[in-house]
Amino acid sequence: MLAAWRPVFACALVCVLAALSGYLSLSPAAAQQDRSPDAALTRLLEQVRATMPGACTQPRVDRLVRILCAGRIRVGVRDYYPLFATNENQVREGYEVDVARAIAKRLGVEVEFSRVNAATRIPLLAEDRIDLAIATMGHNTQRDGQVRFIRPHYYQSETAVVGPRNLSVNGWADIPERSVCGTVGNGSNAELVAHNARLMLFDEAGLLPGRLMDETCTLAAQDDSFFAYYFIDPAFSARFVQKFGFAQVPWGMAVVQNNTAEFAHALDLISQIFHRDGVFLDIARAHRIGTGFLEKQQAVWQRPDCNTETGATNPACVLPAFDAELKPTPFAGRVGAFEAWVSSWTGVELLLPMLKTAPAWSLFKNGIINTFILIAGALTATLVFALAFGAAQGSRFRLLHWSARAVTITLQSSPIVLTLVIAAALAHAIFPYSSAVAIGAAIIALGLTNGANAGQAISEAIHSLRTEQTALPVGGLQLFVGALGRSATQIVAFLVNATKGTPIASFIGAPELLSALTDISSFSSGRVTTYWLLLIFYTMVVMAVVWLCGRLRLFLERNRVPA
Amino acid sequence: MSVLIDRLSSEFLPLFLAGMAINFEIAGIALALGLVLGFLLTLARLYGGVAGTVAASAIALMRAAPTFVVMFFLLNAIPRDATLFGEAFALSGVMTVAISLVPYSASYVADSGVEALRQLRGGSPLGALLFLPNVTRAFFVLVMSSSAGAAIGVVEGITVILRQAEHLPTLGDKLVLFAVGIVFFGIPLQAGFVLMSFLHRYLRRAVTRDPGVAPAADFETPDL
């Protein structure tokens, strides 16, 4: 019985094995074909077209349906961002313009450009006046909540630190205490501040190349895509070079978040294909922009694990958004409520950025502490140098007298900024750069400048008392104490002057309050309020010192020798 | 050192002298504005009453306001698109520094002015004339203080020196360059002090011939 069925079993087994073998040999290729982004895009477009024209009139359909129904895609691009998007005589050119054209071609629709800028690109998307923004927009975590970014990213920029070719700056180690020009509100300012750069801020990035050329700025920090245009100018590139870069930010095309699932997926797939096939790369080369990022991305999207219809959601393939959010302080909410309360009651827009984020709060606290250290140090140093210079200049030893006099004349002839720079240069030749060294150098410079002048007043008082010595027998310590009383007004005046001079210490990188608030306002809003508070703070501090010095003057004048 | 000499001989001096001219320009503007404002404050103080109190308070505040902070305040707190009487009111770097020095110059002029008018009322026109050397002193103090403009990119004398220093390889070369700067700033400053002393001495002699009138205060401090 079994023997009779054996050929049947054998045949059946062969058939099963053959089928299994066929499945195993054919399935991977077939699956790979089905899972490619090209096939997925074709399927998606076919599915959408299958719903047309019926879906064209339905409300709340996906944006892809609307675009295919209309036969056109509205793309927001910049009007003047050289090499990336320009519009001269109604002719649009640039990397982003050609990317938009390539996408439209792939979708089989016409492209209609609209002008956007940094401020309008997201609102125009939200108002449904454009379908897609390709407008030099960095993909950061803050914007993730406002728009849907297309992955993979079509470009990546970084903040480039640009300076003269012959200037030895190679990285962060060379940045402390150097002036770096940048633009107000640039997110990368916080990183420059963290590396002790001295920021000089402008409202417009367009001013930076000119300020580099006329040497107002030694170094300038701005997006490398911005400098790309200037580096194709032989005159500019002959003088300047990118020293180093930081804060890499991927650029993303963006669509609105609602009713764009299929549209965004189609764009994701197109971006994958464009990277893999070198379409982005070819367009970039045609417009002579940097291609380093695109070359790396091409290698990524040619990898089997990324070259799939789900590659755009694979964390191993796509780049994360740039994390631009600053950690809030524990009391940021209450500060915000206070700002709102002031605004509602007075109509004045009060912004207190120094109290709302952790880095700003830290800078602010340290700035106040350092300011008081600086003031106390400058007052002490002025008093000590005043006594020393006064004693030396009032001395009967000619060598000591004239040496002190020569130093005083030199210090009087040196503008305080120069004296500070010299003190900082000498200090940094001995010690490595640090905030403490900068504060110490500032204390010495302010003390020397004001102490020398106050010392001169003391010595003049000593000489005047000596002249009167026949009528009034004084000498030694008694003479010196008498001279202090006689020159009390001048000593106090120079002590006050030293206090008023402390903010200038920010010029050599001392992190006092002016420096701290300038840094805070470079990466946050509320500049006007910040500088009002700064002015009020310093004026009140100086007035307090004037009051305290008035008490000191009364004390010194008790020792005044009557004429 | 040869790098330093090459640079100094080729391009530094013309740039530096042009920069120093900016220092004098800033000081001139600050003093002119200070004279106008200081004169008004002087009149208000002498008038007394509410106007006198307000003027005295304003002068006290202006004395206490640090120049460097005022400069950054002007730079950052005035919107770039601000208008005054319908006209655009964007301050240039030079004007920003000059106006930041006005609180000092105006309070100084007001103090000296009050003293001068008191001398005049006391019957000593020559004592009142001591106002002139005091204003001369203030001018040179303003020239030195105008170097604060280096912090906001104004191309004055110290800015030129610091730019040159950036390109010098050794600390020694930099210190020589700084010394050159001190000499160049020191010459007009010391010459100014000599001129002022001469004026002061001349007027003081004249005042002492004027019985019953005490000489005006003759020592003021520089401002930072």
Q: Answer with the residue of higher pLDDT: B59 or A16.
A: B59
B-chain residues within 8 Å CB-CB of A550?
none
Is any Cβ of chain A less than 8 angstroms from the Cβ of B163?
Answer: yes
Is any Cβ of chain B less than 8 angstroms from the Cβ of A563?
Answer: no
Q: Tell me if A396 is assigned to some domain.
A: yes
A-chain residues within 8 Å CB-CB of B222?
453, 497
* Separation between Cα atoms, residue A394 and residue A456, nearest integer Å: 8
Phi, psi of B172 (to 5 degrees): -60, -45
Residue of A239, A449, A494, A500 to mutate for B, most B C-beta atoms under 10 A? A500
Query: Residue A406's closest CA among A460, A456, A458, A442?
Result: A456
Q: Tell me if A441 is assigned to some domain.
A: yes
Please indicate, yes or no, whether residues A395 and A288 belong to a single structural domain of this protein: no
Q: What is the CATH number of the domain that holds A187?
A: 3.40.190.10
| Type of residue numbered A61 | V
What pLDDT sits at residue A6? 59
Is any Cβ of chain A less than 8 angstroms from the Cβ of B183?
Answer: yes
Is any Cβ of chain B less than 8 angstroms from the Cβ of A490?
Answer: yes
Q: Which two tokens stand for residue A354?
A: 């120094």
Q: Answer with the residue of higher pLDDT: B35 or A24.
A: B35
Please indicate, yes or no, whether residues A308 and A433 belong to a single structural domain of this protein: no
Q: Tell me if A416 is assigned to some domain.
A: yes
Of residues A410, A417, A531, nearest to B72 (C-beta)? A531
Q: Tell me if A15 is assigned to some domain.
A: no
Please indicate, yes or no, whether residues A195 and A302 belong to a single structural domain of this protein: no
What pLDDT sits at residue A394? 85
Of residues A214, A413, A535, nearest to B70 (C-beta)? A535
Arithmetic mean of pLDDT over chain A: 86
Q: Tell me if A358 is assigned to some domain.
A: yes
Is any Cβ of chain B less than 8 angstroms from the Cβ of A429?
Answer: yes
Of residues A215, A415, A507, nearest to B144 (C-beta)? A415
Looking at the predicted structure, is the pLDDT value of residue A8 above 70? no
Query: Residue A534's closest CA among A559, A520, A509, A514?
Result: A514
Please indicate, yes or no, whether residues A132 and A172 belong to a single structural domain of this protein: no
Q: For residue A559, give how far its alpha carbon lies from the nearest alpha carbon of chain B (Å).
A: 21
Residue of B62, B92, B174, B221 to mutate for A, most A C-beta atoms under 10 A? B221
Looking at the predicted structure, is the pLDDT value of residue A280 above 90? yes
Is any Cβ of chain B less than 8 angstroms from the Cβ of A431?
Answer: no
- pLDDT classification of A470: cutoffs 50, 70, 90: low
| Residue B193 backbone zone (phi > 0: left; psi -120 to 50: alpha; other: beta) | alpha
What pLDDT sits at residue B117? 84
Write out the DSSP string of A320-357. Answer: PPB--PPPBPTTHHHHHHHHHHHHHHH------GGGTB
What pLDDT sits at residue A435? 82
Please indicate, yes or no, whether residues A161 and A150 belong to a single structural domain of this protein: no
- Per-residue pLDDT, averaged over B35-61, amounts to 90
Contacts with A31 (C-beta within 8 Å, 6 or more apart), sequence order: none
**H-assigned helices in A145-195:** 189-194
A-chain residues within 8 Å CB-CB of B150?
417, 507
Contacts with B168 (C-beta within 8 Å, 6 or more apart), sequence order: B3, B4, B7, B174, B177
pTM over 0.80: no
Q: Tokens 């499945």 sit at which residue?
A: A23
Q: Which of A21-35, A271-285, A305-319 has the lowest mean pLDDT?
A: A21-35
* Separation between Cα atoms, residue B155 and residue B20, nearest integer Å: 9
Please indicate, yes or no, whether residues A287 and A275 belong to a single structural domain of this protein: yes
Is any Cβ of chain A less than 8 angstroms from the Cβ of B222?
Answer: yes
Looking at the predicted structure, is the pLDDT value of residue A22 above 70? no
- pLDDT classification of A167: cutoffs 50, 70, 90: confident
What pLDDT sits at residue A2? 47
Q: Answer with the residue of higher pLDDT: B118 or A147.
A: A147
* Separation between Cα atoms, residue A127 and residue A114, nearest integer Å: 13
- pLDDT classification of B12: cutoffs 50, 70, 90: confident
CB A524 within 8 A of CB A353: yes
Q: Do A422 and B178 touch (CB under 8 A)?
A: yes
Please indicate, yes or no, whether residues A226 and A303 belong to a single structural domain of this protein: no
- pLDDT classification of A1: cutoffs 50, 70, 90: very low
Structural domains in chain A (count): 3
Please indicate, yes or no, whether residues A411 and A507 belong to a single structural domain of this protein: yes
Please indicate, yes or no, whether residues A307 and A282 belong to a single structural domain of this protein: yes
Q: What confidence tens digit (pLDDT) does each residue in A96-121 have?
A: 999 999 999 999 999 999 998 877 88
Domain ranges for chain B: 2-79+88-208
What pLDDT sits at residue A12? 59
Query: Residue A377's closest CA among A389, A388, A369, A366?
Result: A369
How far are the Cα atoms of A84, A220, A264, A269, B83 from residue A137, in angstroms, in the given order?
12, 21, 16, 20, 32
The residues in A 543-562 lying below 8 A from B, measured between CB atoms, are 543, 546
The DSSP call for residue A131 is S
- pLDDT classification of B220: cutoffs 50, 70, 90: very low
Contacts with A101 (C-beta within 8 Å, 6 or more apart), sequence order: A111
Q: Tell me if A516 is assigned to some domain.
A: yes
Please indicate, yes or no, whether residues A429 and A548 belong to a single structural domain of this protein: yes
Is any Cβ of chain B less than 8 angstroms from the Cβ of A535?
Answer: yes
Which architecture characterizes domain B2-79+88-208 according to CATH? Answer: Orthogonal Bundle (1.10)
Phi, psi of A91 (to 5 degrees): -110, 115
| Omega before residue A7 within 30° of 0, cis | no
Is any Cβ of chain B less than 8 angstroms from the Cβ of A532?
Answer: yes
Is any Cβ of chain B less than 8 angstroms from the Cβ of A521?
Answer: yes
Chain A residue with minimum CA distance to B65:
A539
Residue of B72, B173, B185 to mutate for A, most A C-beta atoms under 10 A? B72
- pLDDT classification of B194: cutoffs 50, 70, 90: confident
CB B140 within 8 A of CB B189: yes
Q: Answer with the residue of higher pLDDT: A353 or A276.
A: A276
Of residues B60, B76, B182, nearest to A414 (C-beta)? B182
Q: What is the dihedral of CA A215, A216, A219, A222, to 10 degrees?
A: -120
Q: What is the CATH number of the domain that holds A527?
A: 1.10.3720.10
Supply the range of the domain harboring residue A90: 46-154+252-313
Chain B residue with minimum CA distance to A412:
B186
Q: Tell me if A460 is assigned to some domain.
A: yes
Please indicate, yes or no, whether residues A88 and A139 belong to a single structural domain of this protein: yes
Q: A250 has which bridge partners?
A: A156
Q: What percent of chain A has pLDDT over 70?
A: 91
Of residues A216, A425, A502, nearest to B171 (C-beta)? A425
- pLDDT classification of B8: cutoffs 50, 70, 90: low
The residues in B 42-71 lying below 8 A from A, measured between CB atoms, are 60-61, 63-70
* Separation between Cα atoms, residue A111 and residue A267, nearest integer Å: 14
Please indicate, yes or no, whether residues A366 and A225 belong to a single structural domain of this protein: no
